[in-house]
Amino acid sequence: MIYTVTLNPAVDYVLEVDSIKIGETNRVREENYYIGGKGINVSRVLKELDIPSVALGFAAGFTGDLICSFLEKYGIKSDFVRLDSGFSRINVKIKNNTVTEINGNGPDISKEKIYMLFNKLDAVKDGDLIVLAGSVPQSVPFDIYQKIMERLSGKDIRFAVDATGQLLLDTLKYKPFVIKPNIDELAELFGKYPESEEEILKFANELHKKGARNVIVSLGKEGAVLVDENGHISRVSAHKGNVKNTVGAGDSLLAGFIAGYEKTGDFSYALRLGNAAGAATAFSEDLAKRKRIDEILNNDN
């Protein structure tokens, strides 16, 4: 079984406007809302690819209820720790020629509730995979990913970690199955923007040496590259299309990679499926749907 952990899930409220004037009343042309959070995004795309998962994390208030009801609607099992006060965050995204984001902080999470999450994770079995994705809320210890991995280190559990900076580096000693920095995050980790593929591979190999079994580097318009645990390098080019939405594209890439590997055990195919899933999200208003993923994958050269 695959488990995804989203510590600070959200309801994304997306407003499309012709223009926006600060300090004045503005009218919305179109509005939609979606449930979000990196782990939840991974669960949703896994579902499209016929891979079941359980969504874990924290949920609070009416927005927490909405998140859980949407997951149920999607056919995704969830087992969130419910908080006694506050509400799961709301992120407002205002679209005109650009996108302006106003992200909520989310509820406070007590030590007691954190231990409740740990207890749920204790039930994970050998052979399972846990996705740890996204930033850590202010009320949660910064090293929570480390603590989860250390707590479960006696089991044969694989981890996929999608995090940035020190949060990611601190997990490498636990040998995560896969990590997925993009090129900007790679530059942040090493204090230097890689100017060539040779430098990208050098940095990816450094992360491999530090413990990551498989390293995917998302290159945006240039595609992605994978250094796998066998030392083999796989590359994919970016798919061409009308980009409508970049939110969740990286999460979709990770979900596609996991699904591809779970189905075939082939790292090269897993990267191709991940690349197709990421593109399908980028070309959609919401996260990728199976039909669009298959279309892109079948056109893959």
Among the listed residues 184, 251, 266, 300, the single catalytic one is: 251
Phi and psi (nearest 5°) for 46? -55, -40
* Three-state DSSP string of 99-111: EEEEECCCCCCCH
Closest CA to 26 of 104, 95, 101: 95
User: Is 251 part of the annotated catalytic residue set?
Assistant: yes
- CB-based contact 64:81 (threshold 8 Å): no
CB atoms within 10 A of CB 198: 8
| Residues pairing with 106 in the sheet | none
Residues assigned a catalytic role: 251
